């Protein structure tokens, strides 16, 4: 079953990114319909575009007509009042959307207020100076987060319900129970200790499964890149940081602000170092998760793009076969990375919590 799942994910991912040959992202951030992506600059811009969040889902693009196949998402703006409409009004960024007399345009995934002609003003760094309304839209990444959240509620609800009927879980609970035990016995208990680990299990389980599911969603043809969004990883790391600080015992704060067992001059020197270390721990969490997931997506799409850049040298058949084989190999690796990054984030969170609640014996 795992081999079949891996093959299916790989084929779907390759099918999704096969539209590299049909639509390109221009330097102004607009779609060039029917144009092939056949230069290194166009490929790089296209990959960066797909790593970003978007207001709609685009599954693929038809070559000659340039027609996008996908579905829109709700756009919710606050601009002198509430504006709600579907992203289909933008026609993938090519037209201006009108709502209650206001006009809006999308530029590089961000919505700006404009006029009926869609004119944008730019500064010397080529950044739009138009007013940006408060954007609380249901974007592609938000859909992924909501889906992962509801899936967790369903899965763990089923596991809890099965325990009320039998001592041994049934159905999906048989898959979840070993993973829950693994998080408890290999992450929480060794790092936090038997005395306190149970109170932190809900957070650790949520973090592990939430990140793992989001990482797996990033391998589907829907193009999710939730954990490759630094705003999401910042929020996840911030939760760990807040829990650690509010869980800190007196020994934890004593070792930060007034290190025991060392001379007073050394205490003063160590204090700013320890404070800096307290802040760098969540930074390491967010950067590690963001960088690894983003790099994985970039490598997969770059390998698929080899079929375009190398076809002149090796021929279309050889170049396509080579790129598909390499992309399939990296996609299998990404399945391992999806689990590994969830494991590392949860393990380090448990370690930081354990350092905060640890009680030292000073003689």
**Among 45-54, 61-70, 97-106, 211-220, the least confident range:** 61-70
Q: Which of 214, 343, 213 is nearest to 285 (CA)?
A: 343
The model carries a pTM of 0.81
**What dihedral angle (degrees, nearest 10) is formed by the CA atoms of 174, 175, 179, 184?**
-20
Cα gap 235→247, rounded to integer Å: 18
Residues 6+ apart with CB under 8 A from 206: 152
Helix-, strand-, coil-residue percentages of the chain, each rounded to 5 = 60, 10, 30
Mean pLDDT for the stretch of residues 50-78: 75
Q: What does each C-alpha distance from 245 to 250, 252, 274, 275 come to in angstroms?
A: 11, 9, 13, 12
Task: Determine the pLDDT at residue 8.
Answer: 45
Give 103's strand partners. Answer: 98, 114
Task: Determine the pLDDT at residue 34.
Answer: 44
Mean pLDDT for the stretch of residues 44-65: 71
Task: Determine the pLDDT at residue 322.
Answer: 78
Give the pLDDT confidence of 94-135 residue by residue, as tens digits: 788 888 888 898 888 889 999 888 888 888 888 888 889 998
**Band of residue 93 on the pLDDT scale cut at 50, 70, 90:** confident
Give the pLDDT confidence of 261-274 residue by residue, as tens digits: 778 888 888 888 88
CA-based end-to-end distance of the chain: 57
| Cβ atoms < 10 Å from Cβ of 310 | 16
Task: Determine the pLDDT at residue 326.
Answer: 80
Task: Determine the pLDDT at residue 325.
Answer: 81
Who has greater pLDDT, 331 or 280?
280
Domain ranges of the chain: 74-137, 142-357
Do β-strands 24-25 and 68-72 pair in parallel, antiparallel, or remain unpaired? unpaired
Query: Is pLDDT above 50 for 243?
Result: yes
Say whether 259 sits in a helix, a strand or coil.
Answer: coil
Give the pLDDT confidence of 164-199 residue by residue, as tens digits: 777 777 777 788 889 999 999 999 999 998 888 999
Query: Is pLDDT above 60 for 28?
Result: no
């Amino acid at each position: 079953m795992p081999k079949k799942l891996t093959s299916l994910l790989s084929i779907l991912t390759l099918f999704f990114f096969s539209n590299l040959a049909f639509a390109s992202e221009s330097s102004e951030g607009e779609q060039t319909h029917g144009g092939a992506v056949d230069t290194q600059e166009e490929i790089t811009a296209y990959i960066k575009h797909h790593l970003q969040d978007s207001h709609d889902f685009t599954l693929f693009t038809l070559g000659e007509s340039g027609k996008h196949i996908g579905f829109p998402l709700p756009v919710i703006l606050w601009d002198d009042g509430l504006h709600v409409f579907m992203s289909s009004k933008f026609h993938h960024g090519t037209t201006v959307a009108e709502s209650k007399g206001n006009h809006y345009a999308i530029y590089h995934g961000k919505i700006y207020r404009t006029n009926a002609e869609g004119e944008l003003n730019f500064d010397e760094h080529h950044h739009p100076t138009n007013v940006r309304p408060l954007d609380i839209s249901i974007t592609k990444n938000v859909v992924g987060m909501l889906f992962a959240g509801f899936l967790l509620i369903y899965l763990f609800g089923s596991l809890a319900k099965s325990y009320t009927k039998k001592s041994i879980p049934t159905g999906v609970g048989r898959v979840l129970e070993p993973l829950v035990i693994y998080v408890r016995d290999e992450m929480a208990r060794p790092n936090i200790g038997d005395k306190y680990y149970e109170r932190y299990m809900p957070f650790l389980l949520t973090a592990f499964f939430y990140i793992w599911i989001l990482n797996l969603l990033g391998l589907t043809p829907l193009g999710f890149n939730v954990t490759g969004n630094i705003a999401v990883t910042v929020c996840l790391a911030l939760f760990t940081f807040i829990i650690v600080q509010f869980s800190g015992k007196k020994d934890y704060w004593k070792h930060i602000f007034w290190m025991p067992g060392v001379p007073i001059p050394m205490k003063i020197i160590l204090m700013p170092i320890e404070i800096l270390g307290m802040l760098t721990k969540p930074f390491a969490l967010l950067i590690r998760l963001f960088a690894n997931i983003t790099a994985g997506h970039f490598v997969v799409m770059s390998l698929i793009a080899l079929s375009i850049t190398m076809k002149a040298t090796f021929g279309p058949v050889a170049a396509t076969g080579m790129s598909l084989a390499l992309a399939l190999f990296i996609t299998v690796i990404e399945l391992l990375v999806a689990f590994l990054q969830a494991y590392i984030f949860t393990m380090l969170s448990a370690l930081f919590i354990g350092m905060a609640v640890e009680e030292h014996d000073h003689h």
